[in-house]
Amino acid sequence: MTNTVKVGILGATGMVGQRFVTLLQDHPYFRITELVASERSAGKAFKDAASWVLDQEMPQNLRDVVVKTTAADLDVDLVFSAISGGKAGPIETSLAERGIHVFSNAKDHRWDADVPLLLPEVNADHLALVDRQKTSGKIITNGNCSTITMVMSLKPLHDVFGLKRVFVSTYQALSGAGYPGVPSMAIAGNIIPYIGNEEEKLEKETKKFLGKLGTEGVTLSNVAVSATAVRVAVTEGHTCAIAAEFESAPSPEEAAQVLREFQGPPQKLKLPSAPQRPVHVRMEQDRPQPRKDAMTEKGMSVVVGRLRKDPLFHLKWVVTGSNTIRGAAGSNILGAELFVEEKRL
């Protein structure tokens, strides 16, 4: 397939919007035709509207593209939404009513009964929920960035051993707060043991990710999750320290083998953004580390390490993943690739 699907990026000037821009360059399915942002950016060239924060250079072919608002006529088949949660909902609904498919990184529609909370390796079958939506354009949501990293390591083990309870502490990167994000005087030489709504998202979204699709929609999983979320002075990559109890207790060696062998529909379909291995396992005592591991397979894999027995539960481990790629823009793009592959466009 050539890049014949026309896509727009909502919130293109922000950090996640910029990730969409870089990840979609030369994509075999998608071609960026519109950059969309707020009223204050509308009418400006992208190079003037965006304060570019990524290590990669702003793509030359997009520098002079004029930024539009969502109210404008948009020459797109689908959009990737990086609009902030709380603002995104009405805008995304309006676009769907106009016949534009929306792949959203925002929280606003995640709990709509007919909207998939999609993580393609985990619950690709949930994409069928869009058939229940009455608008000609469909809305598909991405999960919370830390929840995605955690669930990527939970899903393979849940399928084989049956999860019962999960205790997780997250160590979340500064990039998760956007730019300019957390004030330097607050985070330098410090940690902040509170991130608004993160713990609730970890505890709640896991149940939908691992839920079963049926005739009445998604039946939530009964896996119990207890979460603590901490902001740390790391630039990129969320890390989760997890302890889990299973119906059938695996050994660390059995768990490692299951994680290494795990593949989902994106790998079987060989989707363009799919990593060869969604979960990598490291045996070194001091891995994973965000600086060394968050960008594994271009940021689309998560990395598990320190798999060992737990004296209170059954197993404990540490998992790291890129919060702006696997936990945000990259997962959304992978979901859109699945949408195209299933001929839903």
Tens of pLDDT, residue by residue over 215-236, are: 999 999 999 999 999 999 999 9
For the residues of 121-188, what is the DSSP string, one character each? HHHGGGGGGGGG--SSS-EEE---HHHHHHHHHHHHHHHHH-EEEEEEEEEE-GGGG-SS-S-HHHHT
- pLDDT on residue 63: 98
Q: Do 165 and 46 fall into the same domain?
A: no
Please check whether residues 126 and 221 belong to one and the same domain.
no
Residue 306: other Cβ atoms inside 10 A: 18
Give the residue numbers annotated as catalytic, written as ranges: 145, 238
Answer for the pair 247, 162: CB distance below 8 angstroms, yes or no. yes
Residues 301 and 213 in one domain: yes
Cβ atoms 327, 301 nearer than 8 A: no
Who contacts 190 (Cβ-Cβ below 8 Å, separation ≥6)? 233
Is 109 in the same domain as 133?
Answer: yes
Same domain, 154 and 301: yes
Do residue 152 and residue 140 come from a single domain? no
pLDDT digits (tens, 9 = 90+) for 34-51: 999 999 999 999 999 999
Percentage above 70 pLDDT, the chain: 99
Question: 153 and 115 in one domain?
Answer: no
How many domains is the chain partitioned into structurally? 2
Residue 230 burial class via C-beta count within 10 angstroms: exposed 0-12, middle 13-18, buried 19 and up: middle
pLDDT of residue 220: 98
Question: What's the CATH number where 91 sits?
Answer: 3.40.50.720
- Pairing relationship of beta strands 5-10 and 30-36 according to DSSP bridges: parallel
Mean pLDDT, to the nearest integer, of 8-19?
97
CB 181 within 8 A of CB 271: no
CB 259 within 8 Å of CB 157? yes
Let me know whether 175 and 97 are in one domain. Answer: no
Are 179 and 99 found together in one domain? no
Domain residues for 236? 145-322
Residues 100-128 pLDDT 10s: 999 999 999 999 999 999 999 999 999 99
Could you tell me which of 189, 154, 147 has the C-alpha nearest to residue 172? 147
Pair (243, 165) in one structural domain: yes
185's CB contacts (< 8 A; 6+ apart) are none
pTM of this prediction? 0.97
Which sign does the torsion angle of CA 7, 10, 15, 16 carry? Answer: negative
What span, in angstroms and rounded, lies between the C-alpha atoms of 264 and 280?
14
pLDDT > 80? residue 334: yes
Could you tell me if 68 and 98 are in contact, meaning their C-beta atoms sit under 8 angstroms apart?
no
Looking at residue 217, which CATH number applies to its domain? 3.30.360.10
The helix or strand, by DSSP H or E, that contains position 318, with its residue range, turns out to be: strand 315-321
What is residue 84's predicted lDDT score, i.e. its pLDDT?
A: 87
| C-alpha to C-alpha distance for 164 and 158, rounded to whole angstroms | 9
Do 102 and 163 belong to one domain? no
Same domain as 195, residue 264: yes
The enclosing H or E element of 290 equals helix 290-293
Distance, in Å, from the CA atom of 343 to the CA atom of 171, rounded to the nearest integer, reads 38
